[in-house]
Amino acid sequence: MKANEAPEKIYLHIRANNEIGSTWHGDKITNKDVEYTRTDAFIEKACEWLKENITNNRDCNRIMSRNGVVTMGMIIDGFKNYMKGE
């Protein structure tokens, strides 16, 4: 992690009386802790998975659509925009 960059994941500790702690942690303390993931980190991991699995499982880098050829880049960009709510 760079000096001014937020961690990819943080955890809010849930106390025994089900109260959420006032601080976050970089590591999970108990199974009740709530995990939060940075949106950009989640999207990047999902895009990496798509690239690996679509190209490796179908042994191609193009997918046919009704309107012609859709490239992997178009799929990834569309997915990113969808996840960002654009």
Number of domains into which the chain is organized: 2
Q: What is the mean pLDDT of residues 62-72?
A: 64
30 and 45 belong to one structural domain: no
What range does the domain containing 3 cover?
A: 1-37
Confidence band, pLDDT 50/70/90 cuts, at residue 79: confident
30 and 55 belong to one structural domain: no
68 and 50 belong to one structural domain: yes
Q: pLDDT tens digits, residue range 14-33?
A: 777 766 666 778 888 888 88
24 and 51 belong to one structural domain: no
Q: pLDDT tens digits, residue range 36-62?
A: 888 888 888 888 888 776 765 554 555
Question: How many angstroms separate the CA atoms of 53 and 42, rounded?
Answer: 16
17 and 46 belong to one structural domain: no
CB of 47 within 8 A of CB of 73? no
3-state SS string for the chain: CCCCCCCCEEEEEECCCCCEEEEEECCCCCCCCEEEECHHHHHHHHHHHHHHHHHHHHCCCEEEECCEEEEHHHHHHHHHHHHHCC
**What is the pLDDT, as a whole number, of residue 44?**
87
19 and 45 belong to one structural domain: no
